[in-house]
Amino acid sequence: MAKIRVGIINVTGYAGVELARILSRHPEVELVSVTGRSAAGRRLSGVFPHLASINLTIEPEIGDVDLAFSAMPHKESAQQILPLLDRGIRVVDISADFRLKDATKYQSWYGFTHPAPQLLPQAVYGLPELYRAQIASAQLVANPGCYPTGAILALAPIVKAGLIEPDIIVDSKSGVSGAGRTLSLNTHFSEANEDVTAYALDGHRHLAEIIQELNLLYPAPLSAITFVPHLIPMTRGILTTAYAPLAQGKVSIDQKGKERLFRLYMDFYREEPFVRVVEFPPHTKHTWGNNLCFVHPTIDLRTGRLIVISSIDNLVKGAAGQAVQNMNLMLGLPETNGLEAPAIYP
Amino acid sequence: MAKIRVGIINVTGYAGVELARILSRHPEVELVSVTGRSAAGRRLSGVFPHLASINLTIEPEIGDVDLAFSAMPHKESAQQILPLLDRGIRVVDISADFRLKDATKYQSWYGFTHPAPQLLPQAVYGLPELYRAQIASAQLVANPGCYPTGAILALAPIVKAGLIEPDIIVDSKSGVSGAGRTLSLNTHFSEANEDVTAYALDGHRHLAEIIQELNLLYPAPLSAITFVPHLIPMTRGILTTAYAPLAQGKVSIDQKGKERLFRLYMDFYREEPFVRVVEFPPHTKHTWGNNLCFVHPTIDLRTGRLIVISSIDNLVKGAAGQAVQNMNLMLGLPETNGLEAPAIYP
Amino acid sequence: MAKIRVGIINVTGYAGVELARILSRHPEVELVSVTGRSAAGRRLSGVFPHLASINLTIEPEIGDVDLAFSAMPHKESAQQILPLLDRGIRVVDISADFRLKDATKYQSWYGFTHPAPQLLPQAVYGLPELYRAQIASAQLVANPGCYPTGAILALAPIVKAGLIEPDIIVDSKSGVSGAGRTLSLNTHFSEANEDVTAYALDGHRHLAEIIQELNLLYPAPLSAITFVPHLIPMTRGILTTAYAPLAQGKVSIDQKGKERLFRLYMDFYREEPFVRVVEFPPHTKHTWGNNLCFVHPTIDLRTGRLIVISSIDNLVKGAAGQAVQNMNLMLGLPETNGLEAPAIYP
Amino acid sequence: MAKIRVGIINVTGYAGVELARILSRHPEVELVSVTGRSAAGRRLSGVFPHLASINLTIEPEIGDVDLAFSAMPHKESAQQILPLLDRGIRVVDISADFRLKDATKYQSWYGFTHPAPQLLPQAVYGLPELYRAQIASAQLVANPGCYPTGAILALAPIVKAGLIEPDIIVDSKSGVSGAGRTLSLNTHFSEANEDVTAYALDGHRHLAEIIQELNLLYPAPLSAITFVPHLIPMTRGILTTAYAPLAQGKVSIDQKGKERLFRLYMDFYREEPFVRVVEFPPHTKHTWGNNLCFVHPTIDLRTGRLIVISSIDNLVKGAAGQAVQNMNLMLGLPETNGLEAPAIYP
């Protein structure tokens, strides 16, 4: 049977090249076209020796495909995607260009006027744990940001249950690959190695997504979310530590409350192939190279505060893996296709 | 003029060996005696080649000294220190054994009955930024833990000013040397490298110190402090990100409020030789090997929440450097003696 | 069709756990039994959360299997294997216990008397690139050491062609996982991070294998091999830089000679699924998590010296991946089964 | 007494900023002027927060100084230095521009015509262990490259004694800071982390220095030197492993020969304040941040081959520290002034 033909726009960034890796092992789709500006004309395996098994040349324009992934930077991504949508091609956009529902937010958070606000309502936020059905029938899926994936999966069950006060702190620790393949001083090895720092204290763009999505789950306005990302000296992984006061009187602040909380999370994610609710603080290492998200909810018994910790690989569940999960849903394929390989440890 | 004679009990842990490094360059004291159980009888420079310039043999018992540092683990430290105190020797204890004022806390946090509760009132908590005068005249100084140093310096000005609600979250990211030189799976290279995890979610022992000290500064009981430490893949450094709601109506939630906050911190630390209040999120790398603490206070304008970030070298300001700072105060020496060398970057 | 049943003796070391990862995705075998002393009775996924998809309990003794892998330390491995061989079970031994043909070498290199010298002649050295046919029919395959794999693959073509003088230097740089999961000071994070050192200068045990195997390829005695391993601060990977004088007058010391050398290597490895001869110095990162070996042969034109560089993942081609490759051959399966996934980059 | 006034041309690279760190603690010189193109006009402590104790603004041109360090890239360095020399200012040039005695080598190795070949005879190669007296009276000192420092110190004693065959291999492993502060893909964190690779196989420029200097020590032409540098995932440090056949019949290939070799090295470096001959393979970590070079000579008894391993901090003994050592000699100051601080471990 002929495989489904897929392509990657901008294969040369870390999300794009990770997509190529995952798709190369997918049983039912075939990667037939990859683009990249600076590297156009070169063999994919020439630029990325680890992809020696893929026989493709990097092209300036995407070829004939059934579904395309865009791994372009924001703003440019929309420009590349619009003509594809017109031609009826289904698209998973890894950029931020269709994640926010409110077109005015693009101006305030990303500094550009959205070129196709009319498409925002129909674009589906590609977090399968929340929007599985809508993703399946969407033409355009907006793949979530890496930080929002970790933060929303950590908080969705408790926010939806209305068991916390609307007063959330998300403290995330990311590997450096999240900053991409473009050179900068803060991702220069000698600067980032043996160092940790917080950044974007005035508001990281991913906060807009976190607010939008958690708000959709919560019965009341939920704007008091503080998000502080940190860069730590490793290549892959995001650990998110989220804090919120438990709603007064709704969860007991004791061992029983902890158990109830754990069951709440277990129930919420029971059918999820890629979320594991665990009874220990998770390690990012245990997701290295695969699409799992580990979630550990607990209660600080001294203060009655919820603590939830999640771990993901920022390039897999935080980008390329989730994009393939979305693609599987859009194509009616088993959701885990191409994503079953365990993490690589140590 | 004869130098003051000092010794180190248990030089073979990371705090002990770092003390030896710093003391070896001190202009007015001389390191004359070092102890260590397993390595007793060996040359210090044989065990630690980087200390080739120090001509000492590791002894089973501390020799004749004017002042001793104890870098023993808790419980054992008190046992070693008590006879020295009886002999009138001044002591800087790097262990936790005299940090807590309430003897019953040793049972609940450390699991042992304190052997000398009568000494707790006279032991001074060795954070010079808070207790400079008392340290100067103390016989026994309890050197703060590494996490409390970063957390308290981040929060003391605002807590003392009473400008936050008593609802604090301290999220700390520590290099692996904080876990010491004793072998364990979680500090095995292949486990800790390329990984991040939270630990001690049920309550890290250092929380007891943080609560005790911040409470002494705050006009009302301040128990709602959540502290979550994280292990990140670097050797040295602690970055602490602290969060708290600003007290309603006391600080304006705008650029002016940020400036007022900055001035508050500047004023609090104006005379401090080792605290730098900065207008950017600090890097741990900028404290590598020296005794500085960088502090960056700011406001999350979306939520009215205070964010303060501090960075230290956990083995210097978080242990050995602060111990030398305390010693300088106790001996009436210039506080920065032996501690002036800039951090090593990159 | 029923899958072939395989087991792992000592799954709790890094080679064992890596085997479990690879086998869990193998299309034609099923991992049905794993042993481990200290962890016996625990769920495999409890000890190793990244293996959540494997439903096995760690047992004290290997169960009923068609083929067993032993990842025991040397000496103990032979003890565990002998009864299995008696029962007709086929074995891939990842330890060193059957790699050396000369039983007396176990005394001199490993310090024990070999318990079954009569089996040494029939054990096959499990480097498929040299012994594919013999492996296919062997009952007992001795999986090569990690360093020998990189060194022999780097040198086999030129040694066999007799184009170098018998005067070889092998300088290897290994990630820390090669030292195993057992705790030691030199693999403690704070010691190994930001450090590099040479070790085993008096003769690393793997040298015995390197000498044995290269000698079998060379027309004359070939004992003048110097091997120096180095530990570098990364988890996985071995880069081997091998040097030897080109045999006088046999290869021209110019661009043409380089091209001839490249063709020689290309021809030697033309049919090999896991060896890639490349025209650039390879990175270990390009083999991260997979079974490839990159080889780059070149000539130092100033000195007429051969330089060959190889890169592998020490836990895959250097251990567990090669063991599966051997198993595939023994079972008559396609050699690449279960080993096709590209490396994970970055 | 007035301090000697010194300046740094191009303080913003890693060698320049390391110089500033070391000079800031020097007892007899004062850093009065620093230049840097892109950062001109900014406070030094604004660009480099760890240098908060230095009160200087980065200028476009060097001010009035008694001695200048140039940390400019090659070719540009000579251009900046020539006018200073004309004004009688003494100069330590950290670039390569005056290291090679043969002007034609600049064309072949560096690709430019040397602008002042008449100065090459009077420029002194700034390796104090070889040229202490000449450095003292030089106006222009050419500070050695980082790799040559490690390689020459490893080999000088045995080469000068004529006890090896002229057939040397130098295999070096360098931290990433050696590649400088200028951005490039191979020093991007996600590329360099968890990776090792060889580079410059066609001839690294530092080889020219190594050949020149070792040849001056050896009684016969010594061109058969192979040098292969490797990049490993750490910030600082170079470990050099050098190999050469011992001259036939001159050193016994046994324990006695090893001891004789050790004594030869001990004698050669007996008076050297910064070279330590040791009986164990050295770690780069033991030189972190200081000017020491550890050297370990031994014999591979199986092959009669000399192995010498040296470790340095590439930015200290390999650049800025050695530059200060040279300055001390030029100014008649104690050679160790400003360089006594022990390495920072762990």
CB D302 to CB C236 under 8 A? no
SS3 A332: coil
- Is residue D284 domain-shared with residue D167, that is, in the same domain? yes
Establish whether C293 is a catalytic residue: no
- Is residue A180 domain-shared with residue A87, that is, in the same domain? no
C61: tokens are 């003794």
Average pLDDT over residues B71-83: 97
Residue C138, in any domain of the structure: no
- Is residue A106 domain-shared with residue A173, that is, in the same domain? no
Average pLDDT over residues B253-261: 98
- Is residue C210 domain-shared with residue C295, that is, in the same domain? yes
Using CA atoms of A16, A21, A27, A28 in order, give the dihedral in degrees to the nearest 10: 20
How far away is chain A from the Cα of C218, in angstroms, using its nearest Cα? 32
Q: B216 CB contacts (<8 Å, ≥6 apart)?
A: none
Domain of D258, in residue numbers: 147-314
Residue A130, in any domain of the structure: no
Contacts with C25 from chain A: Cβ below 8 Å: 340-342
Task: Report the mean per-residue pLDDT for chain B.
Answer: 97
Residue D338, in any domain of the structure: no
Residue of C nearest to D255 (CA): C202
Contacts with A193 from chain D: Cβ below 8 Å: 176, 189, 193, 233-235
Residue D22, burial from CB neighbour count under 10 angstroms (0-12, 13-18, 19+): buried
Distance CA A121, CA D120 (A): 72
Strand order in the sheet with C58-59: C58-59, C29-35, C4-9, C67-70, C90-93, C140-142, C124-125
Question: What pLDDT is stored for residue D244 in this prediction?
Answer: 98
Of B191, B234, B298, the CB nearest to A233: B234
Question: What pLDDT is stored for residue B37 in this prediction?
Answer: 84
Strand order in the sheet with A168-174: A197-198, A225-231, A168-174, A238-245, A305-312, A293-300, A275-277
C51: tokens are 């293996």
- Is residue B117 domain-shared with residue B235, that is, in the same domain? no
CB D21 to CB B344 under 8 A? yes
| pLDDT at residue D59 tops 90 | yes
How far away is chain A from the Cα of C253, in angstroms, using its nearest Cα? 27
| pLDDT at residue B331 tops 80 | yes
Distance CA B328, CA B324 (A): 6
Phi-psi region of B200 (alpha: psi -120 to 50; beta: other; left: phi over 0): left
SS3 D189: helix
CB D243 to CB C281 under 8 A? no
Q: How far is CA A118 from CA A101, A102, A103, A125, D289, in A?
A: 10, 10, 9, 15, 59
Residue type, B175: G
Per-residue pLDDT of chain A (346 residues; tens, 9 = 90+): 789 999 999 999 999 999 999 999 999 999 999 999 889 999 999 999 999 999 999 999 999 999 999 999 999 999 999 999 999 999 999 999 999 999 999 999 999 999 999 999 999 999 999 999 999 999 999 999 999 999 999 999 999 999 999 999 999 999 999 999 999 999 999 999 999 999 999 999 999 999 999 999 998 888 789 999 999 999 999 999 999 999 999 999 999 999 999 999 999 999 999 999 999 999 999 999 999 999 999 999 999 999 999 999 999 999 999 999 999 999 999 999 999 999 999 9
- Is residue A114 domain-shared with residue A175, that is, in the same domain? no
Question: What pLDDT is stored for residue D222 in this prediction?
Answer: 86
Residue B206, in any domain of the structure: yes
Say if residues A53 and A19 touch (Cβ distance below 8 Å): no
CB D193 to CB A14 under 8 A? no
Say if residues B126 and B96 touch (Cβ distance below 8 Å): no
SS3 D242: strand
Residue D256, in any domain of the structure: yes
Mutate which: D14, D18, D188, vs A, most A CBs within 10 A: D188
pTM value is: 0.98
- Domains in chain C, number: 2
- Is residue D161 domain-shared with residue D82, that is, in the same domain? no
Of A175, A198, A236, the CB nearest to B241: A198
The last residue of one of the domains, among C122, C137, C159, is: C122
| pLDDT at residue B219 tops 90 | no
Distance CA B96, CA B126 (A): 11
Contacts with D179 from chain B: Cβ below 8 Å: none
| pLDDT at residue D223 tops 90 | no
Question: What pLDDT is stored for residue C222 in this prediction?
Answer: 86
- Is residue A49 domain-shared with residue A174, that is, in the same domain? no
How far away is chain A from the Cα of C49, in angstroms, using its nearest Cα? 6
Q: For residue D69, give the CATH number of its domain.
A: 3.40.50.720
Question: What pLDDT is stored for residue C38 in this prediction?
Answer: 86
Of B194, B226, B305, the CB nearest to A235: B194
CA neighbor of B338 nearest in space, from D98, D291, B327: B327
CB pairs < 8 Å spanning B and C: 56
| pLDDT at residue B61 tops 90 | yes
ipTM score for this prediction: 0.97
Residue C345, in any domain of the structure: no
* Of the candidate ranges B37-41, B278-282, C59-63, C85-89, the one whose mean pLDDT is the lowest: B37-41
C139: tokens are 């009952």
CA neighbor of C308 nearest in space, from C143, C198, C172: C172
How far away is chain A from the Cα of C286, in angstroms, using its nearest Cα? 5
Write the DSSP symbol of residue D254.
Answer: S
Question: What pLDDT is stored for residue D253 in this prediction?
Answer: 97
Catalytic residue (choose from C19, C120, C146, C319): C146
Residue A327, in any domain of the structure: no
Q: For residue A297, give the CATH number of its domain.
A: 3.30.360.10
Strand order in the sheet with B124-125: B58-59, B29-35, B4-9, B67-70, B90-93, B140-142, B124-125
Identify the chains in contact with C, defined as 3+ C-beta pairs within 8 A.
A, B, D
Question: What pLDDT is stored for residue D307 in this prediction?
Answer: 98
Question: What pLDDT is stored for residue B223 in this prediction?
Answer: 79
Per-residue pLDDT of chain C (346 residues; tens, 9 = 90+): 789 999 999 999 999 999 999 999 999 999 999 999 889 999 999 999 999 999 999 999 999 999 999 999 999 999 999 999 999 999 999 999 999 999 999 999 999 999 999 999 999 999 999 999 999 999 999 999 999 999 999 999 999 999 999 999 999 999 999 999 999 999 999 999 999 999 999 999 999 999 999 999 998 888 789 999 999 999 999 999 999 999 999 999 999 999 999 999 999 999 999 999 999 999 999 999 999 999 999 999 999 999 999 999 999 999 999 999 999 999 999 999 999 999 999 9
Residue position matching structure tokens 């490349």: C278
- Is residue B34 domain-shared with residue B166, that is, in the same domain? no
Question: What pLDDT is stored for residue A21 in this prediction?
Answer: 98
Residue D142, in any domain of the structure: no
Distance CA A156, CA A216 (A): 10
Question: What pLDDT is stored for residue D44 in this prediction?
Answer: 97
Of B14, B185, B190, the CB nearest to C176: B190
Residue type, B228: V
Distance CA A302, CA B225 (A): 8
Contacts with D285 from chain B: Cβ below 8 Å: 50
CB D183 to CB A188 under 8 A? yes
Question: What pLDDT is stored for residue A78 in this prediction?
Answer: 97
CA neighbor of D244 nearest in space, from D305, D157, D296: D305
- Is residue B236 domain-shared with residue B310, that is, in the same domain? yes
Distance CA D230, CA D175 (A): 9
| pLDDT at residue B14 tops 90 | yes
- Across D125-151, b (16+ Cβ under 10 Å) vs e yields bbbbbbbbebbbebbbbbbbbbbbbbb
Strand order in the sheet with D168-174: D197-198, D225-231, D168-174, D238-245, D305-312, D293-300, D275-277
CA neighbor of D173 nearest in space, from D94, D245, D223, D236: D236
Distance CA C101, CA C81 (A): 17
Contacts with B344 from chain D: Cβ below 8 Å: 21, 50, 288-289, 344
Give pLDDT tens digits for C223-274.
789 999 999 999 999 999 999 999 999 999 999 999 999 999 999 999 999 9
**What percent of chain D is predicted at pLDDT more than 70?**
100
Secondary structure of D287-340 as H, E, C letters:
HCCCCCEEEEEEEECCCCEEEEEEEECCCHHHHHHHHHHHHHHHCCCCCCCCCC
| pLDDT at residue D1 tops 80 | no
- Is residue A211 domain-shared with residue A92, that is, in the same domain? no
- Is residue C19 domain-shared with residue C166, that is, in the same domain? no
How far away is chain C from the Cα of D208, in angstroms, using its nearest Cα? 11
